[in-house]
Structure 1
């Protein structure tokens, strides 16, 4: 009899333990608002009010200690409309991915309230308007993906004053205009991608011998500055400045850089390609369509 009682007690306690919901009630309410905002799409079919969002919902991750939602990843689906305001009510969110959707509207200013964010990806959408300067207030941001949208205006001055870590910055394939703010020279970006916009003027402030920058992509803009005067980071690995109006010559310092990829084509460069390092390992397409570049792998200088 005693054994049976203990078995029933253990079974009851185990059942109660299993039935206890881990998901924070506030966070769950917010997610259900997001689902409703998008019209209860099939992509979010696992988000049911009678199940546990920390255990049973796809696209959602929770902190094991606090059970607060730390990651929301929704991608590759047909979710039309604007980014729902309810997203700003997830204070413990560290990762927000809303990419390869059909989102429209602007990049909302309320995202700057998510002070725990380390990764923000809104790429491959139809977002319009300017980039909110308030994103620079995110103190823990490690990567910002706003690429492949329809964003206009200039790069915010505030992106030269990120309050915490310096994020990998992806702004390519938009319709950004104006000059690169000089303040960006204060930042030591590991990755910066501004390619395929309509940016003009100088980009030399993005470089510097004391920086740790590894990847710079500036192709297909209207940038115009002298490459001769640029001091490159010693650890630069990938550089694409093709399809601009960049003039001058290729500095000899580039022979000392461990480049894995390089493209300076379709510019206004002149002079002999320095010999050494990796520069001759790239084929002619790396250098062609310049004003008067010469030397291997192009034709010999006269």
Structure 2
């Protein structure tokens, strides 16, 4: 009798363990391969093969299907044993919606082509790493992407125009890399009007007039080598709020620009912008303004928030005058 009870007890334990293991076995196998390929870093210490992978740190499972839907590997301190490339095996998690490698300075190599298999991916962030190579055109195949962040890396080459084929993209971060070439004119055909961050690169040429087709909220093209006219970004019917075009070689007549009522931040410093400050700026609820180091002239319009900014927002122009600069003569 005692033996039968013991056997029943052991069977219940085994059944409980089996039921508690929610993680899909194939997903678990892939995760363990990823851990191995990343040289078993300390921040993945919770990835114990004897436990349910849905309980592992940096991993999330769908509450119904229990398939892996999120993999977010990041570190607040440098990982001494995290010296590896992005494992090709990440492409073997077919239900993945979020993939993030962040603040991993010893993560090297190019973006793996297997990422193109993750057709359910909505959020992709690989930033603050030592990622190199080009921005791959295969990213355009991830049509469910709403957020793409490849900032703070060592990416080179040109920006693929095919990214504009992403129909649901809300934000594109390619800033702080070593990208060259021009901004693709196809970016004017984005259907979702994403926020665009391309700052701190080596982009050249003009800002495509096609960007005037978009109704952006934020655009940051600062610290490049862009030339020519930027007025297409603005317009009375636009909804743009934050525009940073500073430290380029842009040259256009600011007095002819019509600004949207939505604009709250405008940075044009260190360009070749000429003309006068438009009276329309006084009607805006500006929280930040910097037009220093340009070729502007005339009196700063009186009214609105324009006198609330200090001289550093206006100085080093050709003949700009009026409060907060010295009086016009």
- The question of a shared fold, defined as TM-score above 0.5 by the shorter chain, is answered with yes
Q: Quick one: which of 22, 42, 45 aligns to 1:20? A: 22
Query: Which runs of 5 or more structure 1 residues have no equivalent in the other structure?
Result: none
After superposition, the Cα gap between the structure-2 partners of 1:201 and 1:18, relative to the gap in structure 1 and judged at 3 Å, is: same
Alpha-carbon deviation of 1:80?
1.1
1:281 to 274, 298, 308: 308
Q: 1:238 aligns with which of 257, 262, 265?
A: 265
> 3-state SS of the aligned residue for 1:111?
helix
Distance 2:284 2:215 in 1: 17
Question: Which whole-Å CA distance do the structure 2 matches of 1:277 and 1:200 have between them?
Answer: 30
How many angstroms apart in 2 are the aligned matches of 1:19 and 1:34? 20
Aligned length: 296
Q: Which of 58, 81, 90 is the matching residue for 2:109?
A: 81
Question: Deviations along 1:273-297, whole A, 9 cap, x unmatched?
Answer: 0000000000000000000000000
Query: Deviations along 1:67-94, whole A, 9 cap, x unmatched?
Result: 3221111111120111112222211111
The Cα offsets for residues 77-127 of structure 1, whole Å up to 9 and x where unpaired, read as 120111112222211111111100001000111111111111111100000
Is 256-265 or 43-52 further displaced after alignment? 43-52
Moved more, 180-189 or 65-74: 65-74
Aligned pairs for 1:251-290 (under 5 A) are: 251-290=278-317
Cα distance in 2, alignment partners of residues 28 and 109 from structure 1: 29
- The structural deviation recorded for 1:191 is 0.3
Q: CA deviation at 1:64?
A: 3.4
Taking structure 2 as the reference length, what is the TM-score of the superposition? 0.82
Answering whether residue 83 of structure 2 is matched by residue 64 of structure 1, we say no
Gaps of 5+ in 2: 68-94
**Aligned CA distance change for structure 1 residues 57 and 202 (closer, same or farther; 3 Å):** same
Q: Which residue of the partner structure matches residue 246 of structure 2?
A: 219
Equivalent residue, structure 2, for 1:203: 230
Alpha-carbon distance change, 51 to 116 in structure 1, aligned in 2, over 3 angstroms: farther
CA 1:53–1:146 in structure 2 vs 1: closer, same or farther (change >3 Å)?
A: farther
Trace 1:1-302 onto structure 2 (pairs within 5 A): 13-22=15-24, 25=26, 29=30, 53-58=53-58, 60-66=59-65, 67=67, 68-77=95-104, 78-162=106-190, 164-302=191-329
Once residues 93 and 157 of structure 1 are traced to their aligned partners in structure 2, the CA distance between those partners, rounded to angstroms, is 26
C-alpha distance in 2, partners of 1:45/1:80? 21
